[in-house]
Amino acid sequence: MSSSQNVEQPIVDIPVTLEEVFSLQREESVFVAGGTLLQLNWESGQHKPNHLISSHKLDRLKGITEETLNGENYLRIGSSTLLSACISDINIQKRAKIITEACAKIAAPAVRNRGTIGGNVCSRVGDSIPALLVLDAKLEFFNGTSTYIITMTEWLQESQLAGPPLLLSILIPCNKSGQSCSFFQKIGRRESFTAAIVSTAGFMKLRNEIITDIKLAIGGGAHLPQRLADGEAYLLNKDWKKTNWQEFRALLETSFQSYSDPFITDSYRRKAAANMITAKILQILKNDKGGEAKRCI
Ligand SMILES: Cc1cc2nc3c(=O)[nH]c(=O)nc-3n(C[C@H](O)[C@H](O)[C@H](O)COP(=O)(O)OP(=O)(O)OC[C@H]3O[C@@H](n4cnc5c(N)ncnc54)[C@H](O)[C@@H]3O)c2cc1C
């Protein structure tokens, strides 16, 4: 463990074991991974804590591996995995392509070479979250005494704890039965290097013309990332060729809360998300874009 301090900067502790992390914790301690979001927040005037605990040297938070837990296969992504590694890793590309796509839409290369997927998740507004939600991702935490696993959906519904647990890894189920398709889309005020107006993600399975599994989510910007349960219920077990897609689109538009800022209204964000999701699902179903079938994972 090493420690450094100067007059204006917070003390930064760099533990090497999980046990050490919590023995170092004080009232105002904050975990830091890449520090890209924390720094952005401080520059915009948010309170800077006087003590940071870095996850940099914790081996338990590193690596991308395949694991079996309770008979289920998972892709385990260590929380300190860089966003750039999530883009280049062959296992993530193969098993969870939309994580690759979501991470490629976050910030610019320099930030992605520093920022981590764990920091993105723990921000609770990161662009990777909608993609993780539709993949039914689980989160593995350490609370100082034990590790536990919780679904991403449950975690988002929990109120934020004053002394939060340490995120160890993200577990993505490796679903082998049947062919599935997924998508991630983010719109911002320009094509790239931009904050999201809204991000959407979807996961779908089809048998003949029947939609046998469907998961939809939105997030990005200041949205609370969430699954779109009404839209999912509307499509589940429907014959897609007999589905009223206009009705589905209209339902989606009113099925989640958004927000306005000085540039973009709440209704614009909801309409854009509903249009994006409907168009993307239909594009995949009709397979009308060259190579779309390759997106199936
Ligand atoms: C110019 C710029 C553009 C950006 N654009 C985007 C964008 O388009 N989309 C987007 O989603 N984000 C964006 N970000 C935000 C940020 O870069 C990403 O969210 C990044 O993934 C955060 O990772 P980090 O490791 O830097 O997190 P940090 O800044 O280190 O931490 C972020 C939060 O997570 C907590 N935390 C970190 N690790 C853990 C852990 N293991 N356990 C518990 N809590 C933890 C920290 O306490 C903090 O609250 C941008 C940032 C910058 C500077």
Supply the mean pLDDT for the chain. 91
187 and 146 part of one domain: no
Q: Quick one: 102 and 23 in the same domain?
A: no
CATH number assigned to the domain comprising residue 192: 3.30.390.50
pLDDT at position 189: 76
Q: In the prediction, which pLDDT does 176 show?
A: 58
For residue 125, the CA-to-ligand 1 centroid distance in Å is 9
**Do 102 and 73 lie in a common domain?**
yes
Q: What is the pLDDT of residues 84-142, one digit of tens each?
A: 999 999 999 999 999 999 999 999 999 999 999 999 999 999 999 999 999 999 999 99
Q: Is the pLDDT of residue 220 over 80?
A: yes
Distance from first CA to last CA of the chain, Å, rounded? 42
Both 198 and 285 in one domain: the answer is yes
Residue 185 has what DSSP assignment? Answer: E
- For residue 193, name the pLDDT band (cuts at 50, 70, 90): low
DSSP assignment string, 37-106: HHHHHHHTTPPPPSEEEE-TT-GGG--EEEEEETTEEEEEEETT-BHHHHHH-HHHHHH-HHHHHHHHTS
Distance of CA 35 from the midpoint of ligand 1 (Å) = 7
Q: How many domains does the chain have?
A: 3
> For ligand 1, atom 36, which residue shows the shortest CA distance?
119
For the cut 70, the answer to whether the pLDDT of residue 293 exceeds it is no
Do 35 and 77 fall into the same domain? no
Nearest CA to ligand 1 atom 27: 119
d(Cα 230, Cα 216) in Å, to the nearest integer?
Answer: 10
A 10 A CB-CB count for 271 gives: 17
Residues 142 and 64 in one domain: yes
Q: What is the mean pLDDT of residues 255-264?
A: 93
Q: Which of 38, 54, 70 is the last residue of a domain?
A: 54
CATH number of residue 117's parent domain = 3.30.465.10
Give the distance (Å) from ligand 1 centre to CA of residue 241: 41
Do 85 and 144 share a domain, yes or no? yes
Provide the domain limits for residue 193: 180-295
- Tell me if 30 CB under 6 Å of ligand 1: yes
Task: Indicate if the pLDDT at residue 289 is higher than 90.
Answer: no
Beta bridge partners of 239: 210
Mark whether 82 and 147 lie in a shared domain: yes
